[in-house]
Structure 1
């Protein structure tokens, strides 16, 4: 990652204690920004206070994205906003939320953020919205020969008819789709808002939070032996540091506009298992593929737009090595040397 210019600007990161958001905050502080971070529960954001520069330039503010007008005063004096907060599987109160609850929380929270941005007397330099590949992939335009790019937009009808998505994940996909669509509709009506969206694929990498998020659970479950059957699905993968850096480049680059897919590679879960076995032979990846069923087809993803912003991504193998070192430090996996000494 190259160095970033350090203007004396103040920015706000919503959902600042999240997996991706924590890295955004870290990089912003390292680059000299003053950062306001909104969190639902400050107790879950203590790791941010330990970041270099946090003592002088980080302010944590308790705020719920669904509270009307909560951001009006918070955004005052800000040059930019990074809106990352959203309900995700395994987090928030998502486990007990209905599909309607997922969608309402994501859409209402996003519109609350945009409404407060639109009220500012001094217009923002830019709003960066954390969306998802979930809001891109499931489009009626998709064919076996498609190269998925930013012109694709997921269709709720397509999502609801997908048999291989679990209800929890399906609700998440719908919420990201509706929230991003609502955001673009709002920006179309409020010309004083300059917004870009970041649409990352599955995000992996070391965590600053001290917990394992939902996407990081896949390599952990493979390596720990907890996963016995390989999911018959294809996913794009990207390192969390690169995902965070894409947000900052999208904020800083004057030419940035529209949507940006962020991905390093696209792999079937069986191929991910193969990579993990090669990189970490001392761990027992027990999951096996159900060969009685045809493999889910591969698909191609274009990342040309984000490359034009200057993003150079870390190879997936290096991301996985950093991720496993993080799992070891958290006590979620045994160290390599321990495995070797025990003859495992």
Structure 2
């Protein structure tokens, strides 16, 4: 139990990745302070409160990304902070208010608190492979690649823009304030869901089952939520961990996912197998040597997909 006696904070704890981080932290013996928008909303928090170890070592805190100082109480006395809270949406009416402010100012809000709490030894921020995008198909993408913000501005791709800008802001603030920051850049995350609602990355699988092709699907790389969550925790636990980590299986593309869905769940898939060539595919390579140095092994994608769909069925989320 690596986490025995240690106290950590997880922001946006009711989210998909964050819920798994909380689950694994509790299993490793950590005491967890979980921030949510409304601790009294049992529909969004009950899955956390019923986790193994939650009754003894989990406490919920009310926090708002845009409210200065609202993370102070949750972070005070913590050894580490996992900042996962950030809006995820591809349909945006007001990009500044809906995406950019919560992502950028929310990250700064959390980091400002971390800077003044002396017990915090390391901060793990969840970014995205959206911040490591290359538009050159011949490139090998690794942790040195930062997406050119002008690309997202031109595309009006506000999620990618907000994640990239938030990460750049985090690095700048951490450097200026002496924070030990590690950033995780996950691709499209799949695997069993703990929360009661459908999240964007798993909705991609639902779309594929329903015969819809997700937008910009040729950029997608996938990784199991259990591996992503463990990678976050290892980034906190391994003293030598530093910088950024791309969390994506380099060998799995959208076409592979579509093909496997047909193999595993032929009765569910509503699209004819001949249509699978409609899904675009990007040729760029992803280097994950750095991630492997944390001791992370990839869950086979077939297993991830199977577990994803089974859990969606259990929660009646296949729509």
The reply to whether residue 112 of structure 1 matches residue 109 of structure 2 is yes
Q: Tell me, what secondary structure is at the counterpart of 2:73?
A: coil
Structure 2 distance, partners of 1:58, 1:100, is 31
Distance 1:195 1:227, change over 3 A: same
> Deviation of residue 7 (structure 1)?
2.9
**1:125 touches 1:194 (CA, 8 Å); kept in 2?**
yes
TM-score, normalising length: structure 2? 0.92
> Deviation of residue 269 (structure 1)?
3.0
The reply to whether residue 30 of structure 1 matches residue 65 of structure 2 is no
Structure 2 distance, partners of 1:152, 1:308, is 19
Q: Tell me, what secondary structure is at the counterpart of 2:74?
A: coil
> Deviation of residue 330 (structure 1)?
1.4
1:132 equivalent among 124, 128, 134: 128
Structure 1 distance, partners of 2:225, 2:242, is 22
Structure 2 distance, partners of 1:262, 1:229, is 20
Q: For residue 308 of structure 1, what is the aligned residue in structure 2?
A: 293
**1:230 touches 1:289 (CA, 8 Å); kept in 2?**
no
Distance 1:250 1:232, change over 3 A: closer
The reply to whether residue 198 of structure 1 matches residue 184 of structure 2 is yes
**1:72 touches 1:119 (CA, 8 Å); kept in 2?**
no
Structure 1 distance, partners of 2:264, 2:250, is 17
Distance 1:176 1:266, change over 3 A: farther
Q: For residue 75 of structure 1, what is the aligned residue in structure 2?
A: 75
**1:229 touches 1:290 (CA, 8 Å); kept in 2?**
no
Q: Tell me, what secondary structure is at the counterpart of 1:215?
A: helix
Structure 2 distance, partners of 1:150, 1:74, is 30
Structure 1 distance, partners of 2:213, 2:282, is 21
> Deviation of residue 125 (structure 1)?
1.6
The reply to whether residue 221 of structure 1 matches residue 207 of structure 2 is yes
Structure 1 distance, partners of 2:20, 2:27, is 10
The reply to whether residue 328 of structure 1 matches residue 290 of structure 2 is no
Mean Cα deviation higher: 276-285 or 31-40 = 276-285
**1:148 touches 1:301 (CA, 8 Å); kept in 2?**
yes
Structure 2 distance, partners of 1:6, 1:276, is 37
The reply to whether residue 143 of structure 1 matches residue 130 of structure 2 is no
> Deviation of residue 177 (structure 1)?
0.5
Structure 2 distance, partners of 1:232, 1:239, is 17
Q: Deviations over 1:173-215 (max 9, x none)?
A: 1000010000000011012x11100000000111111222111
Structure 2 distance, partners of 1:73, 1:229, is 40
Q: Tell me, what secondary structure is at the counterpart of 1:233?
A: helix
Structure with the higher helix share, 1 or 2: 2
Distance 1:144 1:55, change over 3 A: same
Structure 2 distance, partners of 1:233, 1:255, is 34
Q: Deviations over 1:54-81 (max 9, x none)?
A: 1110000111011011122321110000
Q: For residue 181 of structure 1, what is the aligned residue in structure 2?
A: 168
Q: Deviations over 1:69-97 (max 9, x none)?
A: 1122321110000000001117xxx7544
Which ranges of structure 2 fall in alignment gaps of 5 or more residues? Answer: none
Equivalent pairs counted in the alignment come to: 315
- Cα RMSD (Å) of the superposition? 2.3
Pick the structure with greater CA Rg: 1
Q: Tell me, what secondary structure is at the counterpart of 1:161?
A: helix
